């Protein structure tokens, strides 16, 4: 994909001019620009529902200044895969039933898809920046580990 130019961010592969309101956070700016898969949770950096990647690294977009996205690549859950070709982590959450209400799911997936063996060996601590208010952590950890809970339905 092309490199973002200064004054623009490449959002899910699409160049977008970065002209945020003063003090605007990346999450609000992304949603204002159509990235509605980015969730608004605590708005205080605590829950991880708003997690996106900036230049490949997960950030809590509610506490990331939007103007800092200039010249950077931003990926939201909508840019990770497509309905026809899900990202392997999206596929894993589906197969493991790693969600209940789904509110935390996009953020969980954006964090988990960056994990290497090191983070996987340190679950649940590696997921401590992402809260699930439905407390479906076991299924979420199974999803992150690539386990399949076919008999258990969603959650659990």
Dist CA 75 CA 115 (whole Å) = 16
30 binds ligand FES (CB under 6 A): no
- What's the chain's Rg over C-alpha atoms? 15
Beta strands in 27-133 (DSSP E): 51-54, 57-60, 73-75
Dist CA 61 CA 43 (whole Å) = 9
Q: In what order do the strands lie in the sheet with 8-11?
A: 14-17, 8-11, 73-75, 51-54, 57-60
43 binds ligand FES (CB under 6 A): yes
CB 72 within 8 A of CB 30: no
DSSP codes, 59-92: EEGGGSBGGGGTTSEEE-HHHH--SSS--HHHHH
48 binds ligand FES (CB under 6 A): yes
Our CB check for ligand FES shows the closer of 43 and 119 to be: 43
Binding mask 76-115 for ligand FES (x = CB under 6 A): -----------------------xxxxxx-----------
Pairing of β 73-75 and β 8-11: parallel
Shortest separation between residue 5's beta carbon and ligand FES, angstroms? 27
Number of residues that bind ligand FES (CB under 6 A): 22
The only residue of 133, 145, 148, 152 in contact with ligand FES, by rule CB under 6 A: 133
62 binds ligand FES (CB under 6 A): yes
Six token digits for residue 94:
């589906």
Range in contact with ligand FES (rule: CB under 6 A) among 47-55, 86-94, 117-125, 145-153: 47-55
136 binds ligand FES (CB under 6 A): yes
Our CB check for ligand FES shows the closer of 29 and 103 to be: 103
Q: Residue numbers of the site for ligand FES (CB under 6 A)?
A: 40-43, 45-50, 60, 62, 99-104, 132-134, 136
């Amino acid at each position: 994909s092309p490199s973002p130019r200064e004054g623009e961010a490449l959002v899910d592969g699409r160049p977008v001019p970065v002209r945020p309101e003063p003090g605007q956070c990346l999450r609000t700016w992304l949603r204002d620009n159509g990235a509605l898969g980015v969730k608004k949770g605590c708005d205080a950096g605590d829950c991880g529902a708003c997690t996106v990647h900036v230049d490949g690294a997960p950030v809590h977009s509610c506490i990331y200044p939007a103007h800092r996205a200039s010249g950077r690549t931003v990926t939201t859950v909508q840019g990770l895969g497509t309905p026809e070709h899900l990202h392997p982590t999206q596929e894993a959450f589906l197969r493991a039933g790693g969600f209940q209400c789904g509110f935390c799911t996009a953020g969980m997936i954006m964090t988990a898809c960056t994990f290497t063996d090191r983070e996987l060996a340190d679950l649940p601590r590696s997921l401590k920046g992402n809260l699930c208010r439905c407390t479906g952590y076991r299924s979420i950890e199974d999803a992150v580990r690539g386990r399949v809970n076919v008999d258990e339905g969603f959650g659990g």
